[in-house]
A and B are shown apart, each in its own frame.
Chain A
């Protein structure tokens, strides 16, 4: 994928945000908050950094992208629409019977999806397996795993973190979408995860802290993460529901659809 300017990437992200709200509104269910918080990162990956061919999404030697927080599926579908793999009609079927846009991302249903998520905590392990396979193949392909900050409460994340460091994989980047909110409430109220960067550092990872809505910072960090020795964690500070005033920092919109009035307001704000 030809890398694009920050302005172009931001314009894409803006279009994706509208798609996210639109899909959840039409489906009357879904997870807008955590989709809006990570969409800038996905746009940077798919349109700026990842080794990927939209004309051949199942190219064997593509980079792998693992959406571990699989409920943020609208973010994935919106970027796959942006790069031309999905169509508007696909997005319109989100969460309906027979749709390629399943509730949680699913590799069996959607072209361009590498990992079937929906059960939190599994993606980093899968990404480690992808990275090890690339190393065995002598390939330069890289593996990118997007995790939620609530998700890292799962113990399996730390099994994988320990193993990635022990096995000295350098072709693996984890991006933590630190939007500070999980299903029931704020992360700090549910289960404090503390200083995420220090935790990954103590597990032997390189750590980069960024503003997860600053396209320039995101692209730089993603590129830098490929050059380090060992695995890299990018801690992206984000805002849950970013771009829609009433969804921002609001736990209620982790997994709820806007009503008609809210939908109209969101579309206006995102224009």
Chain B
């Protein structure tokens, strides 16, 4: 990868990747008046002819992307995660069903979005896009991994939805580590055999903090970054089952998201003690990211508690 990656949000990684991919003339960028926010604005500034600003009209944007894809272009469209939901049926009928490859990025996903309040805090997006046959669903945890995974979409044969976060997160991957990531292959960030925390997006850094805390109690928890929600890395899930206790962590509803995807595999193939950290069938409200994450039960303490509930090995104090 070229360029210097500064600490940032995963949405910055999306913007970086579009520039990385710009030498491929097939790449076109679509915006719905949120390019400054989703970070496609950097591509727009350098390549205005290959950028289509379509106004506040996500449904149209989706199908314009399909029309471009049919003619051999590789469209990258973005808006807020929540407004991508507005074009869900367009993605279902106009893209996923038709075998056309359009890549959609929803930024500002989850409770982590904070101050904008509940209208912007998408906690359904991963779940609904996961239901579409053939759709790839990504949720990277930091700037470098968002950049790398988005770059990988250039050779991807399926349409995709990528959720990015508005706010900055810690750097989890160096540029070199991120460059090795593959769509559909989970990444083990911390080894451990007493329990496994499987997380995505902004919950990955919280999971690492939780693992640190658990280690103080003698519990060695594995931490897995499940950046690809679909197709999910089944091997990584079955391997996690061998630790005897799995806790999922997502800034998303527990209905339909990462936790559900893991539970679907475990229930059928390897029933395992499991708990989910996620949004419990609620809407959010305005507040700082940390305040709202605390209120919704999306902290490292919440993860620690859930691991303690099911871990086989008695914790030492």
Nearest B residue to A66 by beta-carbon distance?
A: B67
Q: Is B28 an interface residue (CB 8 A)?
A: yes
Q: How far is the CA of A21 from the CA of B316 in the complex (A)?
A: 79
Q: Is the CB of A126 within 8 A of B97?
A: no
Q: How far is the CA of A159 from the CA of B69 in the complex (A)?
A: 19
- Interface residues of B toward A: which range? 20 to 34
From residue 34 to 73 of chain B, which have CB atoms closer than 8 A to chain A? Answer: 49-50, 52, 54-55, 57, 59-73
Q: Which residues of A contact B94 (CB under 8 A)?
A: 116, 119, 122, 125-126
Total contacts A to B, CB within 8 angstroms? Answer: 106
- Given A129-B68, A163-B55: A136 touches B50 (CB 8 Å cut-off): yes
Nearest A residue to B28 by beta-carbon distance?
A: A136
From residue 115 to 134 of chain A, which have CB atoms closer than 8 A to chain B? Answer: 115-116, 118-119, 121-123, 125-134
- Given A125-B60, A162-B55: A119 touches B67 (CB 8 Å cut-off): no
Q: Is A108 an interface residue (CB 8 A)?
A: yes
- Given A126-B94, A156-B59, A160-B60: A132 touches B70 (CB 8 Å cut-off): no
Nearest B residue to A68 by beta-carbon distance?
A: B63
Q: Is the CB of A156 within 8 A of B50?
A: no
Q: How far is the CA of A129 from the CA of B55 in the complex (A)?
A: 15
- Interface residues of A toward B: which range? 20 to 34
B70-81 Cβ-contact flags toward A at 8 Å (1 or 0): 111101000000
User: Most chain-A Cβ atoms within 10 A of its Cβ — which of B60, B62, B94, B98?
Assistant: B60
Q: Is the CB of B59 within 8 A of A116?
A: no
Q: Is A60 an interface residue (CB 8 A)?
A: yes
Q: Is B99 an interface residue (CB 8 A)?
A: yes
Q: Is the CB of B99 within 8 A of A108?
A: yes
Q: In the complex, how many angstroms separate the beta carbon of A166 from the nearest chain B beta carbon?
A: 7
Q: Is B89 an interface residue (CB 8 A)?
A: yes
Q: In the complex, how many angstroms separate the beta carbon of A123 from the nearest chain B beta carbon?
A: 8
Q: In the complex, how many angstroms separate the beta carbon of A129 from the nearest chain B beta carbon?
A: 2
Residue from the list A126, A155, A156 in contact with B67, Cβ < 8 A = A126
Q: Is the CB of A132 within 8 A of B55?
A: no
Q: In the complex, how many angstroms separate the beta carbon of A67 from the nearest chain B beta carbon?
A: 13
Q: In the complex, how many angstroms separate the beta carbon of A184 from the nearest chain B beta carbon?
A: 21
Q: In the complex, how many angstroms separate the beta carbon of A142 from the nearest chain B beta carbon?
A: 13
Q: In the complex, how many angstroms separate the beta carbon of A136 from the nearest chain B beta carbon?
A: 7
Q: Is B300 an interface residue (CB 8 A)?
A: no
Q: Is A114 an interface residue (CB 8 A)?
A: yes
Given contacts A122-B94, A126-B94, A136-B28, 11 further A-B contacts (CB under 8 A): A106-B98, A107-B98, A107-B99, A108-B97, A114-B70, A125-B94, A129-B71, A130-B67, A131-B67, A133-B70, A136-B73
- What would 21 A/B residue contacts be, using CB atoms closer than 8 Å? A60-B72, A64-B67, A64-B71, A107-B98, A108-B99, A114-B70, A119-B89, A119-B94, A125-B59, A125-B67, A126-B67, A128-B64, A129-B64, A129-B71, A132-B67, A155-B59, A156-B63, A159-B54, A160-B63, A162-B57, A163-B64
Q: Which 4 A-B pairs give the minimum distances between C-beta atoms? A: A129-B67, A125-B63, A133-B71, A159-B60
